[in-house]
């Protein structure tokens, strides 16, 4: 088998047993790998299982392109049910960990059960070993990674910090130091299993079907990457933080918990300011020609980041323009194992409640010192931080102000005000994992003109564009490649590279069909787990409160114009449920069961 390894390792933490299972070519060709294969296995194994139940699995998956010369093919995915949203959830991350897992001869590592005591796993080509983790339980990400790297030279480490151990619902899994499986709280799922870390060390070769053909396509792709201003200049020089000033100028850079769509301190926390004041050097993930990572030093501390979303969440969202404080808060989130987007968003929500007189003695917008204290309290489950660790939807509801939670399906929204980006608003509302910008990154066509510029205030064209992007992104997440490579390469290039690696005659249309199949199965999982389709919506603030000033002044998200058209174009009924004929066309009807 070329591209894929054809093997899955299943680990039961409760019994401390493991077994290998062969993966058929048909299953792999249909679901690709990464996100798609993980969702297929989750649906089959654990539909409706509660997030913290021992039988809710952690499914680590590589893709058919992982570990090959394809640009950005160093990534892997983690799929499970989110404790923050209750939805199907996948994250993917760069670094070297995914390549090492695949070189263990695995497409999938599926972990279920609950260890009786703190444990970490060591995965090698010969199998898996169970080790006690008592020495590092409670330790930070950096300390745990250093400890395990010394004990297992040459291995790669994925680990949770204290946030995962205390059950913070937006705890991350960190790999290779500061790479993050960041959103949705899968670090808390890992912590609930008493699993501190997974250490991998692989050396097997990934076979490529037609190396000469692949080298030619990769060479062509490299020229497009070098010719694109985003992948050749913007991301390498400033990282994702290059977006701060641009989004602020366009009036879609939310601040103070989305009370405004611009931030007067944006320039102070921009990528340009970060480069001038704190940048040490660039850093790239395995196999990445772009190199958007930043190594920085601030306030006597050194670390990675912050990226655009972190600068926004811990900066503008909280009204904090002190870049040094924002950078330090980002370091702290990484070391404690927290999703920076949700951490900053829930703190911003808390600050608004204080400003409105609904939280006595709480932090106020602009308080950088409180920001640092609250990040630590959230991760350690102390005081007010313990309440915030439940996420903004639960926190705001308990405090009697659910409208202050800027979230969709429980997942905090990222750094784009959709009142000035109608397509991005629709993509937030319909995302299968909640308020995520990467399910369909409509910022590409609405702001950057990639692949072409569209009117960001129009609505009629947005359902079709959103579906196109959601399907393609699901396929790319299953290969598994970085989202940023899509700025430079079209679907045709992904299909050609996949064909060269696997020998399977994929075309671009096959990737879109695979992505549509994945998207619909995710929808079936959510519906089968109790999701109400009425949650395909946005916070009332974004639907009812027009932007007060700037380029988006007077606008709200016109979701009611777009959502019915989206459902119809998806082949779903008026309530957002896939119709039998759609499922049949995607060969999903038998999986859906008697309800269809």
Q: Which of 151, 170, 200 is the last residue of a domain?
A: 200
Check pLDDT > 90 for residue 593. Answer: no
Does residue 196 fall inside a structural domain?
yes
User: Model confidence over 162-193: pLDDT tens digits?
Assistant: 999 999 999 999 999 999 999 999 999 999 99
Does residue 188 fall inside a structural domain?
yes
User: Model confidence over 99-139: pLDDT tens digits?
Assistant: 999 999 999 999 999 999 999 999 999 999 999 999 999 99
Mean pLDDT score, 307-335: 97
Banded model confidence at residue 1, pLDDT cuts 50, 70, 90:
confident
Domain count, the chain: 3
Q: How far is CA 203 from CA 210, 350, 588, in A?
A: 21, 48, 37
Q: How far is CA 485 from CA 20, 181, 225, in A?
A: 33, 19, 8
**Are residues 192 and 287 part of one domain?**
no
Q: Which of 152, 172, 200 is the last residue of a domain?
A: 200
What element of type H or E holds 134?
A: none
User: Model confidence over 385-394: pLDDT tens digits?
Assistant: 999 999 999 9
Does residue 207 fall inside a structural domain?
no
Check pLDDT > 80 for residue 561. Answer: yes
d(CA 390, CA 512): 36
**Are residues 454 and 572 part of one domain?**
yes
**Are residues 446 and 314 part of one domain?**
no
Does residue 115 fall inside a structural domain?
yes
**Are residues 270 and 384 part of one domain?**
yes
d(CA 522, CA 96): 27
Check pLDDT > 80 for residue 438. Answer: yes
**Are residues 441 and 392 part of one domain?**
no
Instruction: For the chain, give the mean pLDDT.
Output: 97
d(CA 479, CA 275): 32
Does residue 219 fall inside a structural domain?
no
Mean pLDDT score, 464-493: 97
Cβ atoms of 328 and 299 within 8 Å: the answer is yes
Give 430's contacts (C-beta < 8 A, 6+ positions apart).
439, 466, 470, 536, 563, 566
**Are residues 577 and 466 part of one domain?**
yes
Does residue 214 fall inside a structural domain?
no
By percentage, how much of the chain surpasses pLDDT 70? 99
Check pLDDT > 70 for residue 594. Answer: no
**Are residues 321 and 422 part of one domain?**
no
- Give the domain CATH number at 260: 1.10.569.10
Residue 595: its pLDDT value, please? 59
User: Model confidence over 41-87: pLDDT tens digits?
Assistant: 999 999 999 999 999 999 999 999 999 999 999 999 999 999 999 99
Mean pLDDT score, 141-164: 98
Structural domain harbouring 429:
418-592
Q: Which of 175, 200, 225 is the last residue of a domain?
A: 200
**216 by DSSP, 3-state: which?**
helix
505: burial class by Cβ within 10 Å (0-12, 13-18, 19+)?
A: exposed
Does residue 511 fall inside a structural domain?
yes
Does residue 230 fall inside a structural domain?
no
Give 417's contacts (C-beta < 8 A, 6+ positions apart).
251, 252, 253, 254, 258, 261, 542, 547, 552
- Give the domain CATH number at 473: 1.10.599.10
Mean pLDDT score, 444-466: 96
Cβ atoms of 122 and 129 within 8 Å: the answer is yes
User: Model confidence over 328-342: pLDDT tens digits?
Assistant: 999 999 999 999 999
0.85 exceeded by pTM: yes
**Are residues 430 and 401 part of one domain?**
no
Banded model confidence at residue 348, pLDDT cuts 50, 70, 90:
very high
Give 67's contacts (C-beta < 8 A, 6+ positions apart).
73, 74, 98, 99, 102, 103, 206
**Are residues 423 and 389 part of one domain?**
no
**Are residues 245 and 364 part of one domain?**
yes
d(CA 274, CA 241): 8
User: Model confidence over 380-435: pLDDT tens digits?
Assistant: 999 999 999 999 999 999 999 999 999 999 999 999 999 999 999 999 999 999 99
**Are residues 253 and 131 part of one domain?**
no
**Are residues 523 and 487 part of one domain?**
yes
Q: How many CB atoms lie within 10 A of CB 253?
A: 27
Cβ atoms of 265 and 316 within 8 Å: the answer is yes
d(CA 296, CA 114): 38
- Give the domain CATH number at 167: 3.60.9.10
Residue 596: its pLDDT value, please? 59
């Amino acid at each position: 088998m070329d591209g894929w390894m054809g093997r899955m390792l299943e680990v039961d933490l409760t019994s401390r047993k493991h077994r290998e299972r062969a993966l058929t070519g048909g299953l792999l060709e249909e679901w690709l790998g990464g996100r798609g294969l993980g969702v297929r296995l989750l649906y089959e194994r654990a539909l409706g299982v509660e997030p913290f139940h021992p039988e809710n699995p952690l499914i680590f998956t590589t893709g058919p392109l992982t570990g090959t010369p394809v640009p950005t093919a160093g990534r892997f995915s983690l799929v499970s049910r989110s404790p923050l949203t209750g939805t199907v959830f996948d994250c993917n991350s760069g670094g070297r960990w995914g390549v090492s897992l695949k070189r263990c001869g695995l497409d999938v590592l599926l972990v279920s059960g609950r260890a009786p005591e703190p444990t970490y796993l060591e995965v090698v080509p010969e199998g898996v070993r169970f080790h006690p983790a008592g020495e590092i339980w409670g330790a930070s990400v950096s300390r745990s990674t250093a400890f395990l790297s010394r004990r297992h030279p040459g291995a790669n480490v994925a680990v949770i910090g204290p946030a995962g151990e205390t059950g913070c619902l937006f705890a991350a899994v960190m790999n290779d130091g500061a790479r993050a499986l960041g959103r949705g709280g899968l670090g808390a799922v890992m912590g609930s299993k008493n699993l501190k870390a997974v250490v991998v060390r692989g050396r097997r070769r990934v076979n490529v079907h037609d190396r000469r053909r692949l080298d030619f396509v990769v060479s062509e792709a490299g020229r497009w990457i070098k010719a694109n201003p985003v992948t050749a200049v913007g991301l390498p020089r400033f990282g994702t933080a290059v977006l701060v000033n641009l989004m602020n100028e366009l009036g879609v850079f939310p601040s103070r918990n989305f009370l405004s769509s611009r931030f007067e301190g944006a320039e102070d926390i921009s990528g340009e300011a970060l480069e001038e004041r704190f940048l040490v050097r660039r850093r790239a993930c395995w196999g990445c020609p772009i190199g958007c990572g930043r190594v920085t030093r601030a306030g006597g501390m050194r670390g990675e980041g912050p990226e655009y979303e972190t600068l926004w969440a811990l900066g503008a969202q909280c009204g904090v323009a002190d870049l040094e404080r924002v950078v330090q808060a980002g370091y702290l989130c990484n070391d404690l194992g927290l999703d920076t987007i949700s951490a900053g968003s829930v703190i911003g929500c808390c600050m608004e409640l204080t400003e409105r007189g609904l939280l006595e003695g709480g932090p106020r917008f602009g308080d950088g010192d409180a920001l640092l204290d609250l990040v630590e309290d959230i991760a350690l489950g102390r005081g007010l931080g313990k309440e915030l660790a439940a996420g903004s939807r639960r926190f705001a509801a308990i405090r009697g102000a659910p409208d202050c939670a800027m979230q969709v399906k429980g997942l905090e929204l990222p750094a784009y005000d959709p009142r000035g980006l109608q397509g991005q608003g629709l993509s937030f509302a319909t995302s299968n994992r909640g308020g995520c910008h990467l399910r369909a990154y409509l910022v590409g066509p609405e702001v950057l003109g990639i692949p072409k510029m569209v009117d960001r205030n129009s609505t009629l064209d947005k359902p079709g564009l959103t579906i196109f992007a959601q399907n393609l992104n699901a396929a790319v997440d299953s290969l598994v490649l970085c989202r940023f490579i899509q700025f430079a390469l079209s679907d045709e290039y992904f299909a050609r590279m996949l064909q060269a690696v696997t020998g399977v005659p994929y075309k671009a249309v096959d990737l879109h069909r695979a992505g549509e199949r994945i998207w619909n199965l995710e929808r079936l999982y959510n519906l089968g787990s109790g999701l109400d389709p009425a949650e395909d919506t946005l916070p009332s603030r974004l639907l009812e409160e027009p932007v007060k000033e700037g380029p988006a002044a007077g606008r709200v998200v016109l979701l009611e114009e777009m959502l019915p058209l989206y459902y119809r174009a998806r082949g779903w009924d008026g309530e957002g449920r896939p119709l039998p004929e759609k499922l049949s066309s995607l060969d999903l009807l038998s999986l859906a069961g008697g309800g269809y």
